[in-house]
Amino acid sequence: MKKIYFILIFLTGFITAYAQNGSDTAQVAVQVEMPQDAAIQDLLTKTEADSAYIRNDFATAVEIYESILKNKGESSDIYYNLGNSYYKMDNIAKAVLNYERALLLSPGNSDIRFNLELARGKTIDKVTPPSEMFFITWTQSLINTMSEKAWAYTGIIMFILMILALSLFVFGKQVVLKKVGFISAIFFFLVTILANIFASEQKNELINHDNAIIMAPSVTVKSTPNQSGTDLFILHEGRKVMIKDNTMKEWKEIKLEDGNVGWVPTSVIEII
């Protein structure tokens, strides 16, 4: 009986922690049901945009895709198609911006990542990724294999499997079954924790919006948030930057991968 009480107490605490995290996850998981006519209209609108893209009428495709995003909300597919349209129009800054937005929603999509690299290859500023420990790179790649919602679902499934494994450990009649249940429960518990951490990381990426794309053909980065500041370096359209200080309306302090920082006018960047 002591084992059962211990498990119940443990599960109660764990479920409570899940409940706090679940309020945010639920927002992602809930699907808003749409009237059939509206769903058909959305499909027709997207089909019109796709048809315009196939006809090489990229301006029309951009107009329709932008309208869909404005009126129907964010969609990885729409951002991706919009990025493709801008890429065909040789608007590299807009292409990079929309590929980045698509990747935020679908971090595991290899097509989006491939096209993003193609677009980056056409930018003037070539970025050399900073060196880091291999396990950091590997961990980040693992996190990016799935979206926040997918990691949240994985955590829930692993939690259920952990409960089943604990039941096998408690109620199993044979020593072998108890060992299997105990080892499996530990494994599922660890995966549950990692899945929640990874979901939290992906959620932070979606919420913080601390990255932006340079949209102007070129911009001189200043040492202070005014035009009289010292010129530090020049950035060109399509360059991704991190917003370090977002407190001012007219100016933003940015940071590059190599650690360089400076100020640029808000008008020359667009938040991802």
Domain boundaries, the chain: 2-30+135-208, 36-121, 211-271
Please compute the mean of the pLDDT values over residues 248-256 and round it to a whole number.
95
Q: What is the pLDDT of residue 243?
A: 95
Q: Residue 96 in contact with residue 120, Cβ under 8 Å?
A: yes
Question: What tens digit of pLDDT does each residue of 159-184 get?
Answer: 999 999 999 888 888 899 899 999 99
Angle at 192 between CA 186 and CA 193, to 5 degrees: 95
Q: What is the pLDDT of residue 30?
A: 33
pLDDT tens across 112-164, in order? 999 999 999 999 987 776 666 777 778 878 888 888 889 999 999 999 999 99
In which band, very low, low, confident or very high, does the pLDDT at 45 lie, cut at 50, 70 and 90? confident
Q: How confident is the model at residue 205 (pLDDT cuts 50, 70, 90)?
A: confident
- Point out the least confidently predicted range of 3-17, 26-40, 45-59, 146-160: 26-40
Q: What is 211-271's CATH superfamily?
A: SH3 Domains (2.30.30.40)
Residue 136 vs residue 42, higher pLDDT: 136
HEC per residue, the chain = CHHHHHHHHHHHHHHHHHHHHHHHHHHHHCCCCCCHHHHHHHHHHHHHHHHHHHCCCHHHHHHHHHHHHHHHCCCHHHHHHHHHHHHHCCCHHHHHHHHHHHHHHCCCCHHHHHHHHHHHHCCCCCCCCCCCCHHHHHHHHHHCCCCHHHHHHHHHHHHHHHHHHHHHHHHCCCHHHHHHHHHHHHHHHHHHHHHHHHHHHHHHHHHHCCEEEECCCEEEEECCCCCCCCEEEEEECCCEEEEEECCCCCEEEEECCCCCEEEEEHHHEEEC
CATH number of 36-121: 1.25.40.10
- Give the integer Cα–Cα distance in Å for 187 and 111: 32
The set of residues, in sequence order, having a beta carbon less than 8 Å from that of 125 and lying 6+ positions away, is 235, 236, 238, 239
Q: For 206-239, what is each residue's pLDDT tens digit?
A: 788 789 999 999 999 999 999 999 999 999 999 9
* pLDDT for residue 216: 95
58: pLDDT strictly greater than 80: yes
The predicted model scores a pTM of 0.75
